[in-house]
Amino acid sequence: MTEIEQWVKAIESDLVRWRRHLHANPELSFEEVQTSQFVFDTLSQLPGLEISRPTETSVVARLRTGRPGKVLALRADMDALPITEETGLSFASKHPGIMHACGHDGHTAMLLGAAKILHEQRALLTGEVRFVFQHAEELNPGGAQELVDQGVLEGVDAVIGQHLWQELESCRVGVREGALMASPDTFHITIVGRGGHAAQPHLNVDPIAIAAQVVVNLQHIASRMVDPLEPFVLSVTKFVGGTADNVIPNSVELCGTVRTFQEERRDLAARWMEDIIRGITSAHGATYTFHYDKGYRPVHNDPQLTRFVRDVLQSELGELVTEAVPTMGGEDFSAYQTVAPGTFFFTGIRPLASDAFPHHHPRFDIDEQALAVGCRAFVAIALEFLK
């Protein structure tokens, strides 16, 4: 057992207890009133921490050592999702229609544990550790950008975050330089034709037939306009139109998402999409509206910082460290990476001997053994960065 592992072992019951309390009491994005108060109260038990509330539902704690050195920010998100829980756990959500289905309860517990240990071991540190308990990761525009705008990362030399990850075997830690998570942009299209009787299509402008062509042709962006070696997703996920089997409707609504790791690709994709929509609707005598809404920026891990993190974690966790597989999911941790070098990594929570439900599923759960591993990772990185 490493020394850090022993420290974490001593508070492992706290990690589980905190996580289960948070899991039973989830709150939605921008509504984390009781969650942030729980974090504030727990941190208040550590004398000398400078605790602030940069927004109504976020908490930042600063551990200043009094010795010159660098400033490291460690971040956890706290919000839950609008999902009705079906896990049957003894500590399942007490709030109907709200659930921690993405592991943020675990993120918060792990960072609370890291704060407790680093506070106890502050004599080993120089500089400052800044613990950032963020609200509203799940809802664009996200809490991270709001905290950046509030100056939470001013003076920070590096920022570290992690995500409990169902696609990774429990207690494994995935690290990767460069692109890790995509930009989750969304779009909304309305195709406006001229409705009428389905038996007289020649007298109408059928928005369903036109919208179907739009859906098919939008896929040409991924298959024929983007380099096949470049990860890119364009998915139409909503197609709404019509009220009866003998009525051609006036309009059809299409919605979906665009995912890419390339910041410049986002504007280009929006332009290509509108070119296709305009051409098809014009050819068939229809009109359209098109709205493209940018989500979070892609998460790109700083190469030098990520190599440092990998080395530290390999020293502390050994063979548990592996190469992370990029995902087209999004994360607002990218907002922090615009103002400081940042690294985001995955901590596995998938048990080998059981079926695992994915993130955002009503039966999503985590292997709680991973909480200790994630806490060790935070502590090890901080100790090495600020030694």
pTM, two decimals, is: 0.95
User: How many Cα atoms sit within 13 Å of 1 on the Cβ side?
Assistant: 10
Give me the helix-helix angle, 207-220 and 263-283, nearest 10°.
Answer: 140
Q: Would residue 137 show up in a list of annotated catalytic residues for this protein?
A: yes
Angle at 55 between CA 50 and CA 59, to 5 degrees: 40
Q: Which residues are annotated as a binding site for Mn(2+)?
A: 102, 104, 138, 163, 360
The span from the CA of 320 to the CA of 337, in Å, is 26
Q: Would residue 274 show up in a list of annotated catalytic residues for this protein?
A: no
pLDDT tens-digit readout, 230-272: 999 999 999 999 999 999 999 999 999 999 999 999 999 999 9
User: Which of the residues 79, 85, 177, 302 is marked catalytic?
Assistant: 79
Looking at the structure, tell me whether residues 277 and 371 fall in a common domain. no
Cβ–Cβ under 8 Å, residues 28 and 82: yes
According to DSSP, the residues that pair with 132 across neighbouring strands are 60, 75
The predicted structure's pLDDT at residue 353: 62
Looking at the structure, tell me whether residues 116 and 237 fall in a common domain. no
Looking at the structure, tell me whether residues 169 and 193 fall in a common domain. no
Buried b or exposed e, range 277-313, using 16+ CB within 10 angstroms: beebbeeeebebebebebbbbbbbbbeebbebbbebb
Q: Give the list of residues 6+ apart from residue 156 with CB closer than 8 angstroms, or none.
A: 71, 72, 73, 130, 339, 340
Q: Which residues are annotated as a binding site?
A: 102, 104, 138, 163, 360
Looking at the structure, tell me whether residues 149 and 243 fall in a common domain. no
Q: What CATH number corresponds to the domain at position 219? A: 3.30.70.360
pLDDT tens-digit readout, 325-356: 999 999 999 999 999 999 999 999 998 766 78
Number of structural domains (the chain) is 2
pLDDT tens-digit readout, 168-212: 999 999 999 999 999 999 999 999 999 999 999 999 999 999 999
Looking at the structure, tell me whether residues 166 and 30 fall in a common domain. yes
User: Which of the residues 137, 146, 185, 302 is marked catalytic?
Assistant: 137
Looking at the structure, tell me whether residues 20 and 49 fall in a common domain. yes
Phi-psi region of 325 (alpha: psi -120 to 50; beta: other; left: phi over 0): beta
**Range of the structural domain that residue 39 is part of:** 3-180+298-386
Final residue before a domain boundary, out of 267, 293, 319:
293
Q: What CATH number corresponds to the domain at position 87? A: 3.40.630.10
Buried b or exposed e, range 94-119, using 16+ CB within 10 angstroms: eeeebbbbbbbbbbbbbbbbbbbbbb
Is the model's pLDDT at 22 over the cut of 70? yes
Final residue before a domain boundary, out of 293, 317, 333:
293
